[in-house]
Amino acid sequence: MTIAVQLSNGRSWPSHRASLAHFELMLKRYADNEVVDDAQDHDDLAALIERYDLAITAGPAKAGTGIDHFERRRYAPHVGSTATFWVVHTHGDAVDFSYVVAVRAQPKSDAQQFACACWTAVQPILLEAQKRAIELYGDDLRRVPCELTGNLLTFEEARLDHVGMSFAQIVVSFRALRGWSHGAPEASISALENGQAAAFTDSAIAQAFARYHNAVAKLRVVAKGPNHVVATGRRDPKIRRPIPL
């Protein structure tokens, strides 16, 4: 059966084969020890790391606590060794990852529900943060400039964008810090039903995630729509109008 591949940055392919071909060609475009400096390539790899970390729950998260950039490296200096992508974290350490494993991995349903419960936990915080952005940076018509384009946005036209660590990477990092390799303790997340989002049944977990999110998240205002996804996971750009949490 053909299985489509959908990444969190909006990129998709009709099959594993098509996705693998995309990343294989990307790897060939770079020389050994070269930084992946194309914005779209970086964004695709950041989204692929998210897919990997949501599916492969054994061991530390590949995204670490933040991505600085990606490089093509070899496991050994001689020419015959295997070349692959390496993710360099914001603290300077680096780890390799297999794009083949990441493409073929299917995010587990418990990890997805955990991420959904985390989103539910911070929704009120993000709503207040967006209102705060309007108060801090809005013009007389309560419009805030988009960090990517400079276009003025109303509250309804804007959304908050996680920079440096994407929201999924924050979720994976929190889960790893708590020692939950498969999501969360049993019965700690409410079931999805009647269109309602999953949520933590234990308020202490929801509060702990909210505190962690607020400590590490960096937010900026961007326009709703497809152009915002290129910003997610980008190499920690300077935020002109930072939003306090």
pLDDT of residue 229: 46
Nearest to 42 by CA among 222, 217, 239, 233: 233
pLDDT of residue 74: 86
* Helix segments in the chain, DSSP class H: 16-29, 39-55, 99-104, 109-137, 167-177, 203-216
Give CA–CA dist 199/187, Å, rounded.
11
pLDDT of residue 194: 46
- What the chain holds in terms of domains, given with CATH numbers, is 5-104 (3.10.450.40), 109-231 (no CATH)
User: What's the mean per-residue pLDDT of the chain?
Assistant: 83
Give me the helix-helix angle, 109-137 and 167-177, nearest 10°: 120
pLDDT of residue 75: 77
pLDDT at 244 over 90: no
What is the amino acid identity at position 99? Answer: Y
pLDDT at 171 over 90: no
92-131 pLDDT per residue, tens: 889 898 899 999 887 666 777 788 889 899 999 999 999 9
pLDDT of residue 231: 45
Place of tokens 């013009």: 139
pLDDT band at 187 (very low <50, low <70, confident <90, very high): low
Work out the end-to-end distance of the chain between its first and last CA atoms, rounded to an integer number of angstroms.
45
pLDDT of residue 58: 63
Q: pTM of this prediction?
A: 0.66
195-227 pLDDT per residue, tens: 456 788 889 999 999 999 999 999 999 887 654
Give the pLDDT mean for 227-245: 65
pLDDT of residue 121: 92
